[in-house]
Amino acid sequence: MRQPSHFSTPGRRGLLQGVLAYSLWGIVPAYWKLLDGVNPIELIAHRAIWGGVSLAILVVVAGQVGALRAALRQPRLIAVMMLSSGVLAVNWAVFVWATISGHLLEASLGYFINPLVSIALGTLVLGERIQRLQRIAIILAALGVGVLTWRAGRVPWIALVLAFSFGTYGLVRKMARVEALVGSTIETMLLAPAAVIYLIVISPHGAFGHSSASTELLLIGTGIVTAVPLVLFTSAARRLPLSKIGALQYLAPTGQFLLAAIAYGEPLTRERLAAFILIWVGLVVFTADLWRATRDA
C-alpha cells in the first residue's frame, strides 16, 4: 500500500524551494532600481563580495564548514564551480544592466525563454523524460514566448543571453556533486578576487565610501538579495529534474513583467498580454502535473 506523502519529502521540499527562489527573483528588480545611480559593473562587484560574506555566515550557522573545506580540496569540483561562477557573473551583469537601464521587459522575456532552454538541456543532455501533459504546457509557453519575440521586432540579445546563461548555470549546478549552500559559497569565493580588484584598482572612487549611508547599506544588502534565492534555487535543482525546474522558472519573469508594466510604466500591449496569458496557462498546467507527481511519489 502506498504510504501517505508528506510535504517534507525531497520532491515537495524542492518544489517549495523553487517557488520561493523564483518568486524572490521576480521582485528583485525593484531592489536594483534603488541603485540605478551606481555603475552596473560596480554593482556586480559588490554583489559578489557581500554575497560571499552572507553565504560564508550561512555556512558557519549551518555547520557546513567541514563540507566547504572538503569541497575546496577537490580540483575537479573547483573547475566545475569556475564554469558555473563564470556564466552566473554574465547573467548577473546583463540582468542588472537591463533592469537599471529600462530594459526590464526584454529581461523578463529572457527568463520566459529560459525554462525552454532548461527543458531542452534536461532532455538532450541528461536524458530526462517529460509527460504528455507537460508537453502541452511547453507548447503553450513556447507560443507565448514566440509572440513576445515577434513583437520585439529584432533579435532580443538581452533575452537570449539571459536565457542561455542561466540555463547553462542550472545544468552545471545539476551535474556538480556539491550541496547547494557549499556550492554557492565556492562560486562567490571564486568571483570575489576579481570583484575586489575592480573596486580597489579599477574603480577606487565608486559609490561605496562616496555616497549616502542609505546607498551604502543597499550595496551591503546585495549580499542577502543574492544569497537567499540562489541557495533556494540550487537546493531545488538538486531535488527536482531540470525539466521540472524549467516550469517553475516562469514565476520570476512573471513578477518582472508585472513590475515593468505596472510599476515602471513600460507599455503592455494587447499582444504582450495575450502572450502573458498563454505562458501563465502553460505554467498552471505544468505546475499542476508536477504537484500531482510529487504527491504520488
Enumerate the domain spans of the chain.
26-128+155-249
- Give yes or no for residue 257 having a pLDDT over 90: no
pLDDT tier at 4, thresholds 50, 70, 90: very low
Retrieve residue 19's grid coordinates: 517557488
Q: Which of 88, 114, 7, 92 is nearest to 42 (CA)?
A: 92
State residue 94's pLDDT score. Answer: 94
Out of 94-103, 175-184, 213-222, which region has the weakest mean confidence (pLDDT)? 175-184
The whole-model pTM stands at: 0.78
**More confidently predicted of 259 and 125:** 259
Q: Are 114 and 163 in contact (CB under 8 A)?
A: yes
What are the tens digits of pLDDT across the range 166-217? 889 988 888 888 888 899 899 999 999 999 999 888 777 777 767 788 888 9
- Give yes or no for residue 245 having a pLDDT over 80: no
State residue 3's pLDDT score. Answer: 44
State residue 153's pLDDT score. Answer: 67
State residue 154's pLDDT score. Answer: 66
Out of 21-30, 64-73, 238-247, 259-268, which region has the weakest mean confidence (pLDDT)? 238-247
Give the type of residue at 25. W
